[in-house]
Amino acid sequence: NRLRDHGVEIGVLQPGQFNALTDVPGVQVGHTTIIQGDDIRTGVTSILPHSGNIFQEKVPAAIYVGNGFGKLAGYTQVKELGNLETPIVLTNTLSVPTAMNAVIGYTLHQPENENVRSVNAVIGETNDGYLSDIRGRHVTEEHVLKAIKNAKSGPVTEGNVGAGTGTICFGFKGGIGTSSRVLPKKSGGYTVGVLVQTNFGGVLQVAGVEVGKKLGHYSNSFKYSPDGSCMMVVLTDAPLDSRNLERLAKRAMLGLSRTGGIASNGSGDYVIAVSTAKACRIPYQSDDPIQLHPTLRNGAMTPLFLATIEATEEAILNSLFAGETMIGRDGHKIEALPKGKVLEMLKEAGKTTP
């Protein structure tokens, strides 16, 4: 059961069919969950903005760095050129190079890419080293390729899965979460989908209810280890150029804030934003030096900003509601969010519909 199934509504806009990143047409998500022995709790999640050859048909993109204590790969080229040319892959901090190698290999070996000699792999990460033997670097290129191959449309599995297998959020078990919003027709009718890999801290709020404070479940010293982080992927079918995608990406941090996130010093908080609009695709090669893309005017961005904030907030909460208690490395144990108690608090605060 997801948060919304309990009658809790985040924000004022409506979600799409699956309340997931995959509500954006053509988008696919895949997971490889790696649970081995007592000490390995990690994985890979892939996001495909479209099902074609992404290198040959690039998509407008931007990455916003909320707090840059992280190892995300691919930032500077996306910033310079305004586009994305590979699937997005999420994994653990120390497996970023392996994921890059896999994505590079995947791209080099796609049909039509025989002469490609430069690939900008975009890989996000959070640090699951408390529950998993991260120093062992157990993710293989095969794991990554499997996550890409597995990618599919429709409902997205949340919680202890893929790149969220071993992550921790507000001291509870975090993981993968997702949500979406569909704008009203008069605002363009576009869909905004968000997927998050949650591994950060702060003072948890659920739908504005101060859960962390009430449970006394937060660090008094706020001297977090540098293990936190949150990866946020925002896709939309609205036709946007990279400048407005960067503005959109910035708003995901506002959604994170509403869950009580504080972007602590040790947190690597990144937002990757992509427009999947077909009319905005950027062919790798073209005889015409001029491209003619429709793009939304600045003045039409506000509803998309709101949608991003709401979907990010709900995606993070969904990751907490889906996370299950896990025991990992050296017997470390992280409890799931006490959903019963939280729902009780929500009910008392009038946040659940009867």
Supply the residues annotated as catalytic.
229, 267, 269
Residue with tokens 């799931």: 336
Q: Is 325 in the site for a second copy (CB under 8 A)?
A: no
Q: Measured from the CB atom, is 249 or 337 closer to a second copy?
A: 249
Spacing of C-alpha 53 from chain mean position: 22
Q: Measured from the CB atom, is 35 or 254 closer to a second copy?
A: 254
Please check whether residue 31 is in contact with residue 177, taking contact to mean a CB–CB distance below 8 angstroms: no
Q: Is 340 in the site for a second copy (CB under 8 A)?
A: no
- Rg of the chain taking only CA atoms, in angstroms: 19
Residues 64-103 that bind a second copy (CB under 8 A): 65-77, 79-82, 93-94, 96-98, 100-101
CB of residue 154 vs a second copy: minimum separation in angstroms?
A: 29
Residues 148-177 that bind a second copy (CB under 8 A): none
Q: Is 286 in the site for a second copy (CB under 8 A)?
A: yes
Q: Is 353 in the site for a second copy (CB under 8 A)?
A: no
From the list 15-23, 45-53, 152-160, 248-256, the region that binds a second copy by CB under 8 A is 248-256
Of 241, 278, 339, 352, the one binding a second copy by CB under 8 A: 241
Residues 121-150 that bind a second copy (CB under 8 A): 121, 127, 129, 134-135, 137
Instruction: Annotate each residue in 201-230 with x if it binds a second copy (CB under 8 A) or - if it does not, as one string.
Output: -xx-x-xxxx--x----x-xxxxx-xx---
The Cα 272–Cα 242 span in angstroms is 11
Cross-strand partners of 90: 45, 124
Q: Measured from the CB atom, is 106 or 157 closer to a second copy?
A: 106
Residue 174 to residues 209, 270, 316, 335: CA-CA distances in angstroms? 18, 17, 8, 10
Of 298, 324, 327, 333, the one binding a second copy by CB under 8 A: 298
Q: Is 111 in the site for a second copy (CB under 8 A)?
A: no
Q: Is 344 in the site for a second copy (CB under 8 A)?
A: no
Cross-strand partners of 182: 14, 191
Cross-strand partners of 173: 168
The DSSP secondary structure of 155-224, one letter per residue, reads: ----BSSGGGTT-EETTEE--EEEEEEE--GGGT--EEEEEEEEE--B---BTTB-HHHHHT-S-SS---
